[in-house]
Structure 1
């Protein structure tokens, strides 16, 4: 992750507060699809939660059209879960669809999302709940996400590539996420339920498995929340361990993931910043940087510096992903309309 932190802003701006009533209850939502074994570990971590009154919390499992034993695994925790426990189906495949289903079912003032391949700390729910006392207009929380390596870390994995593995660790102090690029990460995040619902929930265009198969459903939502005056914070006490599978530690997986990051950023810019932003990035940032870094990465690789080669190749792959959407830009020039929700 980037080494620098955004400027701190601990005092809410009264002019921008939106329905910032104190939170009383919290819902934990796990969206899952065909990961029965992993789901069991995630649910086990919720069974062990401490520091939270059971009457103030609930756990919701959203089964996103699984074909394995996911439903049976979820049912096996019904008698053990110390909180109100709900299992609901969401037949429309896509992470945003599943998250929206969880929001619809949730009754908590706060909705905390835990990935089905993550294991929550014992105080995870209590920490997310406490984060909303940081300031009156906290609307969303980024928790700390530590890696659970399933195989040895490869030599070429530069620390700057860790965000693609959803590793989030900005240290031990809470702070406001002021920079646009710093937003809650899906494996461990929470939001005020009414705040999210007031801006329309998650956009199904974004999110893996969704309309376009691109990331950024949480980033796109964060932009709308900020526009409405909600504060987003980093809260390290709300931490989880997130599985990093052997598959994700291959360059083949990284190539595809970084390429999709570029495509996701394109559609994010398209929706929120418009055509001028697209053209500026294409002309001066994406294409030029992609070409230069691609050439330099070849030199690094020839010298045996695999970590630097991978980092610079990532810039090129990202650029290719962004530029691959050029056809959409051409269509915009012709039609003068965006077509995104």
Structure 2
């Protein structure tokens, strides 16, 4: 009996970029993707700089890629603006996001699509594994503080991230949904996006083998950067809690304060073990950030800053 032909899938791979030369490595890794014959890919590069600084790099690499590349200039310095430009320009069955400071593995996209098709999920996350230089602090390398994986709550993923994700464009929970422009300089726009997608009934799945690698530059291999990142992450979580459970704000503040105290006590208890101490302390700082978000304090700005050593924000 003749098998029916496999359905064909069109996928747009979106890379938002901001003054980051590592974009060349990202695009180069996309050229090595191993895709099934029924999958056709296209690359969208959204340049978020005020000037079209990534245009020359993107256009020079385009002829060497096995996929069509579309360059979009979408100023300025607001990552939500760039993400939304990708959503507007996409026309495939699926849309994938990967950061401009990462490289993908050969099976990345095929694995995301396979998981989306078998699960029927509206969004599929993959792991982002950090790659540390030998100069990074030993406690940081041992504790792996920069890798990104989903958080499961009662067997479900309630939110996500944009560094490694596939979206089903026809989903009613994806179609028309956009990233919050007011969070485009602070970060947390992806946390909000996926939290709202889930709250609206969307399902988020996980593809463990859809691996993305992310080198950790020297300016991020510092405790100070992790403190700032965790605090802002807590602010985003607190703001979302405040919007979802406005009448329980005092209870949420008290709960976050208790969690922070517990984490700081835990940090003191393992003070002689640096990676365990810092992990507990950073969790405590995240809960302090949640209190800040619950109180409506404006989220600190993480992105859109001047580049350091040729590298600055992507997402």
Q: Given the two structures, how large is their TM-score scaled by the length of structure 1?
A: 0.75
1:151 corresponds in structure 2 to 134
Give 1:38's match in structure 2, choosing from 22, 32, 42: 22
Q: Which residue of 2 is the match for residue 29 of structure 1? A: 14
Q: Secondary structure at the match of 2:220?
A: helix
Change (3 A) 1:231 1:300: closer
2:187 is equivalent to residue 214 of structure 1: yes
Residue in structure 1 matching 2:180, options 195, 200, 203: 203
Q: How many Å separate the matches in 1 of 2:40 and 2:266?
A: 55
Distance 2:43 2:76 in 1: 21
- Indicate which of 254, 258, 269 corresponds to 2:230: 258
1:295-306 alignment to 2 at 5 Å?
295-298=265-268, 300-301=270-271, 304-306=272-274
Q: Which of 187, 192, 201 is the matching residue for 2:163?
A: 187
Per-residue CA deviation, residues 216-250 of structure 1 (Å, 9 max, x unaligned), is: x3332223333443321111232111122222221
How far did 1:180 drift? Answer: 4.5
SS in 2 for 1:205: helix
Matched, 1:99 2:72: no
- What residue ranges of structure 1 are gaps of 5+ in the alignment? 1-21, 330-341
Q: Distance in 2 between matches of 1:180 and 1:127?
A: 18
- The match for 2:312 is none
2:279 to 311, 319, 339: 311
**Deviation for aligned residue 1:55:** 7.4
Shift of 1:47: 1.6
Displacement of 1:115: 0.5
Separation in structure 2 between the aligned mates of residue 290 and residue 231 of structure 1, nearest angstrom: 30
Partner of 2:57: 73
Q: Give CA deviations for 1:44-102 in whole Å, capped at 9, x if unaligned.
A: 01122222449722100000125584221111112122212100011143222211110
Shift in alpha-carbon separation, 1:318–1:74, aligned structure 2, 3 A: same
- Structure 1 residues 169 and 233: CA distance shift in structure 2, 3 A: closer
Kept in 2, the 8 Å contact 1:60–1:88? The answer is: yes
Q: For the residues of structure 2 that align with 1:309 and 1:43, how far apart are their CA atoms?
A: 38
Q: Report if aligned partners of 2:234, 2:293 keep a CA contact under 8 Å in 1.
A: no
Aligned to 1:16: none
Give the CA deviation at 1:292.
4.0
**CA RMSD after TM alignment:** 2.9
* CA distance in 2: counterparts of 1:32 and 1:45, whole angstroms: 15
Note closer, same or farther for the CA distance 1:327–1:145 as it changes in structure 2 (3 Å cut). Answer: closer
Aligned to 1:167: 148
